[in-house]
């Protein structure tokens, strides 16, 4: 069944495209009923408007807090026109039904995002009449269309001018309307929790942004979602070339992009990171991007095949040449590409997804789904810095060793636990990730480093419970160890480091990552 639109209730904050839309309604014989600023706006545009006050017989009150909350309005929205009792009530009260409601809400999220906004200012942007009208129309979508976004004006105007609002269109509009009010209420709930480190209530309305090729595996469907009415760095990502992205492409690209930007921000140099299965298999910083990429790649060329390459600086031709000579990368992500670089990548690596991205934002709180529930925590970050670290051995590290330790520690914080990183001269030469014990993580890191980190640093994401981990670090050629400390046998570990001539730093901060 199509609903012919003869009467529309219009009350919006965002007036983008409203005159054009309402002009189309009037041209098709639709009566416009409106209130307050919306009525004045349409009248000034020369459109005929029936005031809400003339429908309700009551003036606005409470400084505009009460305008549309009246039986003559909501009776006209909610009436089931297949119900004789409803129709009798309308007739007895001389209420005319509405066929269309056009409403978007006060800008609550935008208001509370302004620095220094007061509680009173925020409270005044909590819309009451708007959500009530939206929900009423959405509930009665069998008879009423509900428009909540200027983006819907074109489709609805075309339907009004043709055969009316179809069942499918009204149902789709109603679903969007309920999501609109749910998202609006979520913003209010989260504002009330603005000062809570671990909020008692977390409401996160998610909107599907992109359907992906598949999920973790081809037999699993997958999509990218983002929080409604909020911005994310993913919104600014542009794919220049390559096949459609999959779930794991995005998962790994996000990890690579965060690591590359974190290293660049911490050390003030261009950074390169190569990620495979959410773990770095290479990372480096340096003044020359091409050389930096090359060192990151040489950490573990075998694992780099099919990995994600993240570069914190715009890609130039010299870096392009290194990338196309190396193993196939599934994704390259960078803040920009110089002349001819995208074309050069396409020519040599036609399936590689080439992404241009803005700097990633920093989340303050993160959620993770587990079977049967959700885990929430303050988002991962580095709370301590090298200036706060404690030298616990007899030997104090040199300036070069401190620099290597700072770099190794920063990379280690992005590696799944148990994690060991061997680094020297701004390059991670050995990365041992995701092992059930720390000794084997160290053995993997040492095997991959193959002597290239001699004289450099060994970083451990958690304390060494026994001296054997320190012995493995010394055997790999590291001369400085950086670790959180805090083990029962710290004294034994420190003593063994002294016997081996190592310098050791305690950060006082663990960086398990799962």
Token duo for residue 92? 């007895």
Three-state SS string over 425-468 comes to CCEEEEEECCCCCHHHHHHHHHHHHCCCCCCCEEEECCCCCCCH
- Please check whether residue 170 is in contact with residue 141, taking contact to mean a CB–CB distance below 8 angstroms: yes
Q: Which of 15, 226, 277, 348 is catalytic?
A: 277
CA 341 to chain CA mean position, Å: 28
Query: Burial level of 227, CB count in 10 A (0-12/13-18/19+)?
Result: middle
Which residue stretches of 209-366 are H helix?
A: 247-267, 289-299, 301-304, 317-325, 341-348
Q: Which residue has the tokens 């839309």?
A: 21
Alpha carbon distance 15, 37 (integer Å): 10
- Helices 71-78 & 84-93, crossing angle to 10 degrees? 150
- Among candidates 170, 155, 175, which has minimal Cα distance to 3? 170
The phi, psi pair for 332, rounded to 5°, reads -120, 125
Q: What angle do CA 318, 324, 329 make, to 5 degrees?
A: 120
Token duo for residue 114? 């302004």
Active site residue 276: no
Q: Could you tell me which residues are beta bridge partners of residue 226?
A: 207
Q: Which of 70, 139, 240, 380 is catalytic?
A: 139
The phi, psi pair for 98, rounded to 5°, reads -100, 140
Kindly report the number of other CB atoms within 10 A of residue 402's CB atom: 20
> Dihedral through CA 245, CA 251, CA 253, CA 255, nearest 10?
180
Token duo for residue 264? 């660049």
CA dihedral sign, ordered 225, 230, 234, 238: positive
- Please check whether residue 393 is in contact with residue 502, taking contact to mean a CB–CB distance below 8 angstroms: yes
Expressed in angstroms, the distance from the first to the final Cα of the chain is: 53
Active site residue 277: yes
Q: Could you tell me which residues are beta bridge partners of residue 503?
A: 480
User: Which helix (H) or strand (E) segment is 209 a member of?
Assistant: strand 206-211
- Among candidates 424, 414, 471, which has minimal Cα distance to 450? 424
Q: How many H helices and E strands in the chain? A: 19, 21
- Please check whether residue 443 is in contact with residue 429, taking contact to mean a CB–CB distance below 8 angstroms: no
Q: Could you tell me which residues are beta bridge partners of residue 283?
A: 273
Q: Could you tell me which residues are beta bridge partners of residue 129?
A: none
CA dihedral sign, ordered 451, 452, 453, 454: positive
Catalytic residues: 139, 277
């Amino acid at each position: 069944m199509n609903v012919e639109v003869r009467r529309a209730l219009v009350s919006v904050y965002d007036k983008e495209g409203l005159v054009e839309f309402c002009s189309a309604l009037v041209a098709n014989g639709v009566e416009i009923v409106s209130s307050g600023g919306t009525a004045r706006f349409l009248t000034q545009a020369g459109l005929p408007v029936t005031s809400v006050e003339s429908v309700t017989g009551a003036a606005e009150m409470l400084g505009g807090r009460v305008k549309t909350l009246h039986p003559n309005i909501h009776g006209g929205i909610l009436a089931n026109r297949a119900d004789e009792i409803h129709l009798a009530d309308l007739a007895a009260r001389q209420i005319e039904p509405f066929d269309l409601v056009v409403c978007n809400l006060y800008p609550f999220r935008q208001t509370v995002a302004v620095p220094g906004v007061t509680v009173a200012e925020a409270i005044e942007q909590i819309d009451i009449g708007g959500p009530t009208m939206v929900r009423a129309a959405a509930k009665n979508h069998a008879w009423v269309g509900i428009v909540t976004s200027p983006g819907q004006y074109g489709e609805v105007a075309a339907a009004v001018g043709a055969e009316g609002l179809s069942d499918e269109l009204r149902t789709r509009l109603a679903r969007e309307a309920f999501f609109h009010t749910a998202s609006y209420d979520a913003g209010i709930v989260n504002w009330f929790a603005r000062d809570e480190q671990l909020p008692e209530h977390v409401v996160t309305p998610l909107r599907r942004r992109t359907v992906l090729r598949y999920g973790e595996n081809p037999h699993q469907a997958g999509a990218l979602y983002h929080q409604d009415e909020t911005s994310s760095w993913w919104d600014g990502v542009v794919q220049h070339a390559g096949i459609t992205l999959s779930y794991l492409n995005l998962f790994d690209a996000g990890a690579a992009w965060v690591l590359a930007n974190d290293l660049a921000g911490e050390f003030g140099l261009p950074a390169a990171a190569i990620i495979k299965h959410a773990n770095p298999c290479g990372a480096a910083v340096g003044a020359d991007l091409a050389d930096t990429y090359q060192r990151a790649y040489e950490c573990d060329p075998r694992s780099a095949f099919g990995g994600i390459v993240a570069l914190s600086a715009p890609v130039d031709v010299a870096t392009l040449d290194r990338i196309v000579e190396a193993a196939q990368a599934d994704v390259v992500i960078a803040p920009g590409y110089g002349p001819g670089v995208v074309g050069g990548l396409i020519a040599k690596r036609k399936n590689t997804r080439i992404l241009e991205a803005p700097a990633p934002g920093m989340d303050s709180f993160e959620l993770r789904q587990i079977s049967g529930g959700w885990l929430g925590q303050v988002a991962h970050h580095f709370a301590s810095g090298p200036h706060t670290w404690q030298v616990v051995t007899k030997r104090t590290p040199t300036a070069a060793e401190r620099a290597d330790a700072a770099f190794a520690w920063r990379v280690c914080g992005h590696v799944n636990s148990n994690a060991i990183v061997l680094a020297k001269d701004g390059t991670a030469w050995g990365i041992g990730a995701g092992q059930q014990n720390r000794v084997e993580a160290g053995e993997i890191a040492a095997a991959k480093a193959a002597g290239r980190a001699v004289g450099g640093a060994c970083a451990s994401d958690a304390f060494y419970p026994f001296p054997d981990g320190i012995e493995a670090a010394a055997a790999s050629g590291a001369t400085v160890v950086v670790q959180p400390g805090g083990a029962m046998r710290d004294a034994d570990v420190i003593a063994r480091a002294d016997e081996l001539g190592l310098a050791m730093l305690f950060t006082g901060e663990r960086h398990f990552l799962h």
